[in-house]
Chain A
Amino acid sequence: MTRRPAPKIAAYAGVAAVALLAGLALGRPEPVAVAAPLAVLVVAGLAAARDPELEVDATADRDRAIVGDQVVVEVRLRADRPVDRLELLLVVPPGLEGPSGPGRPWAAAVRLAAGEERTVPVTLGCRRWGAYRLGDLHLRAHDRFRLLTWEQRLDLRAPLKVFPEPQALRALVRPLETQVSTGNQVSRHRGEGIEFADIRPFLPGDRPRSINWRATARRGAPWVNERHPERTTDVVLFLDSFVDVHGERGSTLDLAVGAAASLAAAYLRQRDRVGLVGFGGFVQWLQPGSGQAALYRLLDTLMETQVFATVAWKGIRHLPPRTLPPKALIVALTPLLDERAVAALFDLLARGYDLAVVEVSPLAGAPAVGGGGLRRSPPEGQWEPLARRLWALERETLRHRYQRLGAAVVEWTEDAHLQQVLLEIEACRRHARIAPG
């Protein structure tokens, strides 16, 4: 602990010295009687002051939470010597809300007797997803006469991961191709399954139970049913974290991370394998996996997502080959603002991946102008509306380029539910064809 003297020591000692000298010079006892308490307080207080012996620990009641939950951090104190006033200041990371307000540190002062143990609970509200470290605690102890202070900073590192609130998704984007292992996704291929696909003439080796007796009776020769097998799919969530645009109700990265978590949970529920590519200044990836362990691994990785400013060019070649398995459906969550992410998506299309783009709109929150989805804020200059229109046209052109290559691109504004966006993507993909040329 660092011990510091209070400024009043100098003031009291100085006044006492002046008064003593004045009493001596004037030959009067009154100045001495006036200033003696100040001198005695300093001498007695400093002589009685002892360094505090404190044991401090902080723990959170859980290490995982969902946005909107409340987490209780317990600061446990034990003093071997009495502490007349102990100030505690707990730094609340941005994204969490303490009793004093969002992002503001929590502080309190307590009094501890010798040998006393005290647990001070602090309730924090989880306002934003992310990986946090709690326990940045500042202590300041005072002696009885407030002549000395002892300060210490403790970093107790209690980890906390706050996950975004999952959205209920009833329908997901179906991939064009499925994998070979059995799952819940109806394959477009034909084989053993439940869903009826077609009928064909009987061939040696076909099982008798596959015979379609009605068609056989009508055609005079045995015909069998063909079915769509149920297979798994590989889904890779492509999260663009180059840019984060803050709107009135959140940021594009918040929306994208929330959507990625919901999509991962939904795909994993139907036994698909889900991978993750966090594509930004800091590239992170997870190979596709299935099951609850994969979900937690993926959520943990998602929570580490942050915008890391860099001008270095990043491309698909920076990813390990197994991160993007063949025939995988890639769901990109991107504001389509950074050239590197835009180019990476074109690269994926050129490599033949099945791509669906959820464009997290950076224009959300502003009133629309006209019917083309063009938005404008209140006029701030005569050129601003024109610049916005040009920008919106550029984005429209970019979307069109993706669509010409066979990718479904749907703009996701803040007021739309993710399910609605997924249904729009599915509708686009149902009719999408790669344009010639």
Chain B
Amino acid sequence: MPAARPDRTRLACRAAALAVAAALALVPLARVDGPLRAALAWLAVLGLLLAAGAAWPLPSLLGPALVALLAEHTVVLLDGGDQVDAAAPLVGAGLLLYAELACWAQEARPAVRDEPAVTRARLAVLAACLAAALGLGAVLLLAAGLPGGDGLTRLGVGVVAATLSLGLLAAVARRTATRRR
């Protein structure tokens, strides 16, 4: 077996996750001014703390950390007016990267030595996910920019799409209950 360094893997994942979370939390601050910036700073600090907690010993903080970081971007989005934010796919990919790195840090137990093929496969899957996330975000933004229908129609389509998405999520998640075979 290869002489892996599980502690190093865990440390690297945590550091990378924190770096991504810091970027996600601090970049929106540069896009606003005035009192909103101060308010956003508090939100950024909260998001960073939650993100650090999720990458360290509290994996249950992953959801709240993602919501806090997402909320920060949503606030910036509202402050920016009606213009479509082209950076949204990047933010989505960043959130996914942070979450996966935090989960990887939890998964890399010091006692378990991963063979290089496992690490390489994980990196490849992560890279593919990021590329797919960027592409998906871009496609969604482009689709939203397509002309067609009035406001009510678009709202109806959105409601149906959201309902279907949530239903699909719930249906798939229901399969994940602990099961003995």
Residues of A with Cβ closer than 8 Å to B?
Answer: 1-24, 26-43, 46-47, 51, 84-85, 87, 89, 100, 104-105, 107-111, 120, 142, 144-148
Contact = CB atoms under 8 A, between A and B. Distances in A.
Given A2-B180, A107-B113, A37 B129 contact: yes
A404 to B, nearest CB: 58
Contacts of A2: 178-181
B43 interface: no
Nearest to A87: B112
Nearest to A6: B103
A3 B165 CA distance: 25
A183 B109 CA distance: 62
Given A110-B115, A145-B125, A34 B88 contact: yes
Given A34-B92, A111-B121, A146-B103, A11 B66 contact: yes
Nearest to B96: A37
Given A3-B179, A35-B92, A37-B136, A24 B74 contact: no
B175 A46 contact: yes
B162 A23 contact: yes
Among all A-B residue pairs, the 10 with the closest Cβ atoms: A29-B144, A37-B133, A5-B176, A11-B63, A30-B88, A34-B92, A33-B137, A11-B62, A33-B140, A33-B88
Interface residues of B, number: 64
29 contacts: A1-B180, A3-B181, A4-B178, A5-B176, A5-B178, A7-B62, A9-B173, A10-B173, A14-B63, A15-B63, A19-B70, A26-B77, A29-B88, A30-B84, A33-B136, A33-B138, A37-B136, A39-B165, A41-B96, A85-B114, A87-B112, A100-B111, A107-B112, A108-B113, A109-B112, A109-B114, A120-B1, A147-B176, A148-B176
Interface string B155-168: 10011001001101
Contact of B169 (A6, A17, A104): A17
Contact of A29 (B73, B140, B170, B176): B140
B47 interface: no
B89 interface: yes
Contact of B113 (A6, A109, A146): A109
A157 to B, nearest CB: 22
Interface string B85-122: 10011011101100100011001010111110110011
B89 A33 contact: yes
A38 B133 CA distance: 8
B132 interface: yes
A107 B109 contact: yes
Given A16-B169, A34-B73, A43-B169, A29 B84 contact: yes
A31 B69 CA distance: 11
Contacts of B165: 16, 20, 39
Contacts of A7: 59-60, 62
Main secondary structure on B side of the interface with A:
helix
A268 B168 CA distance: 76
B172 interface: yes
Contacts of A42: 169, 172-173
B141 interface: yes
B67 interface: yes
B70 A34 contact: yes
A46 B176 contact: yes
Nearest to A21: B162
Nearest to A41: B129
B30 interface: no
A36 B137 contact: yes
A4 B180 CA distance: 9
Interface string B20-44: 0000000000000000000000000
Contacts of A41: 96, 129, 133
Nearest to A43: B172
B55 to A, nearest CB: 12
Name the residue among B67, B73, B169 with the largest chain A CB count within 10 angstroms: B169
Nearest to B63: A11
Contacts of A4: 178
B63 A37 contact: no
Contacts of B140: 29, 32-33, 36
B117 to A, nearest CB: 5
A36 B92 contact: yes
Nearest to A85: B118
Given A13-B173, A20-B162, A109-B115, 6 more contacts: A3-B180, A9-B176, A29-B140, A31-B74, A104-B111, A147-B176
A322 to B, nearest CB: 51
Interface in B125-145: 125, 129, 132-133, 136-138, 140-141, 143-144
B113 to A, nearest CB: 5
A111 B118 contact: yes
Interface string B53-85: 000000110110011001001100110000011
B2 to A, nearest CB: 9
A302 B13 CA distance: 50
B99 A12 contact: yes
Contacts of B73: 30, 34
Contacts of A110: 115, 117-118
Nearest to B144: A29
